[in-house]
Structure 1
């Protein structure tokens, strides 16, 4: 019981749900090459590993059909906090489903592109089941710029809801005062 309590406490800063992960549909005919570049976080389900503001992710194709992922944020101290990972498409028949490896020996994190127009916005989902009793999910509304029109954000929220993903805990990401990040 103590272990479950500790997990629930840790998950309280995230989107903790009973039951198994939903399986939302992903972008059809996803093109990894067109997705490359920088995406800025507009809204998200809370994630304990995000502590700052100005969150952004930069994706770069590597020569071996993998993608370098660089996540960066600005901490309250003014320092840039960044981490790099490698993503790969696990099944070429579903290229919108990627696995991201941040640390050797730790299971890969799922990265599902639910929708993107490649030029303006993207909707990403990730979910991990624990003991088939509960799951922790993450969702990000991303943009090529540090802001999106309200109607586009609403459309992305509606897509999440239609996929069975609860949106009541989505939070707006602070993308102001981001001069320290390129």
Structure 2
């Protein structure tokens, strides 16, 4: 009964997400991930739907804080103004540095942020998954670029990687990066 109640409470959030039955998949991540090279500004090129993301000109900035954690500063333009969200990322296991935990609230556990592939200078593919009682999972995926626009062949390659790892990209959509200024 508790699982049914939880499911009913989550339905409004789930409708704006990409969800599937069963536990989260575990795709391989970037081997030898170098966090220092990954830091800096990334622009969102495409993403799976996420209830916490709306608008255009979406970008993320990553920087190391004095305490060793990573500042995550997401921004985008929505309803005629720049909206920002600041969070914290940590490397969960130094042996798999491409598997980060990201949180935007002190009261919520870290969510997964797995860098599946990156060349550090032009593109990155990131995957995240939230497992709900191992009954179903909610997928998030992003194709990021160091510039606001990537060549179509690069985007196609990123999508092929996600599909190869069993991640459903049917609902993936392009982020509007036209007419943007740095946030």
TM-score (structure 2 length as normaliser): 0.94
Aligned pair partner of 1:99 in 88, 98, 101: 101
Partner of 1:53: 56
CA distance in 1, matches of 2:10, 2:115: 27
Partner of 1:22: 25
- Determine if the alignment matches structure 1 residue 71 to structure 2 residue 68: no
CA distance in 1, matches of 2:136, 2:160: 24
Partner of 1:12: 15
What is the RMSD of the two structures over their aligned residues, measured on CA atoms? 1.2
Number of residue pairs matched?
Answer: 180
C-alpha contact (below 8 Å) 1:8/1:16 kept by paired residues: no
Partner of 1:174: 176
CA distance in 1, matches of 2:154, 2:60: 20
Q: Deviations over 1:97-133 (max 9, x none)?
A: 0111211121111100000000000000000100110
Deviation at 1:58, TM superposition (A): 0.3
Structure 1 runs of 4+ off > 6 angstroms? none
Deviates further, 36-45 or 7-16: 7-16
CA distance in 1, matches of 2:115, 2:98: 5
Deviation at 1:177, TM superposition (A): 1.9
Consecutive unaligned residues in structure 1, runs of 5 or more: none
Q: Deviations over 1:67-120 (max 9, x none)?
A: 1100001012x2110011111101100000011121112111110000000000
- Determine if the alignment matches structure 1 residue 34 to structure 2 residue 42: no
TM-score (structure 1 length as normaliser): 0.95
Within a 5 Å distance, the mapping from 1:139-158 to structure 2 comes to 139-158=141-160
